[in-house]
Amino acid sequence: MELASKKQLVEIKKRSISNFESFKKNSKILIPKWVLIVVLCAVFVNIVLLSVILFANIFDLDAIINGANSTKEEIAKAREVFTFSIISYLLNCFIDVVFIFYIYRATKKNPIGSIFCFTWMAVWMVFTIGVLFVFQGFLVVRILNLLVGISVVGIIIYLFYLLSQNKRILMYQREKEKHSL
C-alpha cells in the first residue's frame, strides 16, 4: 500500500513538473515582424542621434583642449569626458546591435519570455536616461534620443502585453482541459 502511494506521488510529481515545463515553454512568444522593423528604425535613429551628440562633445572638448585660456585641470577633465563619451558611445552601439540580434532571432526561432522583456527594458531605460543627463550637447538631440528610448520601452511593454495575453490563453486552455476530463 505504502509503495503504491509513493509511486503515485512520484507520478503526480513528474506530471506536474512536465506540465509546468510545457507551460513555461509555451508561454513564450515569437515577436511579430513589424516589431523588428520598428526596432531597427529606432536603433538606427538612436545611433545617428548618439553620433551627433558624440561629435558635438568632441568639438566642444577639442575647443577646450586646444584653447589658449584652458588650465591643466580643465584639459585633464576634458580628456576624461572625451574618453567617457567615446566608451559610452561604443557601449551603447554594442548594446543596440545585441538588442537587434536578439529581436531578429526572436522573430524566427527563439521565443522570448518575461526575463527578456525585463532585462531589455531596464537596459533601454538606463541608457536613455543616461544620455539625457550625462552628455552635454544639443538639448533637442538629447530629447529626440529620449523619445526614441521611450518608444522602444513602449514596444517592450507591448511585448509584455503579448506575453500576458498568451499566458491567459494557455491558462484558459488548461482549465478547459481540466473540466473536460
Distances, alpha carbon 177 to alpha carbons 13, 49, 170, in Å: 19, 52, 11
Joined together, the cell numbers standing for residue 11 give 507520478
Collapse the DSSP code of 31 into the 3-class scheme (helix H, G, I; strand E, B; otherwise coil) and give the result: coil
Residue 2 confidence (pLDDT): 57
Question: With 0-12 CB in 10 A as exposed, 13-18 as middle and 19+ as buried, what is 58?
Answer: middle
The parent domain of residue 56 ranges over 32-180
Contact 106, 30 (CB under 8 A): yes
Residue 27 counted as domain residue: no
Residue 32 confidence (pLDDT): 86
Digit-by-digit pLDDT tens for the chain (181 residues) are 455 566 666 665 665 555 555 555 566 777 888 888 988 898 898 888 888 888 887 777 777 777 767 778 877 887 887 888 788 888 888 888 888 888 888 888 888 887 888 888 888 888 888 777 777 667 788 788 888 888 888 888 898 888 888 888 878 887 877 776 6
Joined together, the cell numbers standing for residue 101 give 540580434
Phi then psi for residue 100, to 5 deg, are -60, -40
Residue 15 confidence (pLDDT): 58
How far from chain centre, in Å, is Cα 47? 15
Please state the domain count of the chain.
1
Phi then psi for residue 89, to 5 deg, are -65, -50
Residue 163 counted as domain residue: yes
Residue 161 counted as domain residue: yes
Contact 126, 133 (CB under 8 A): no
Residue 26 counted as domain residue: no
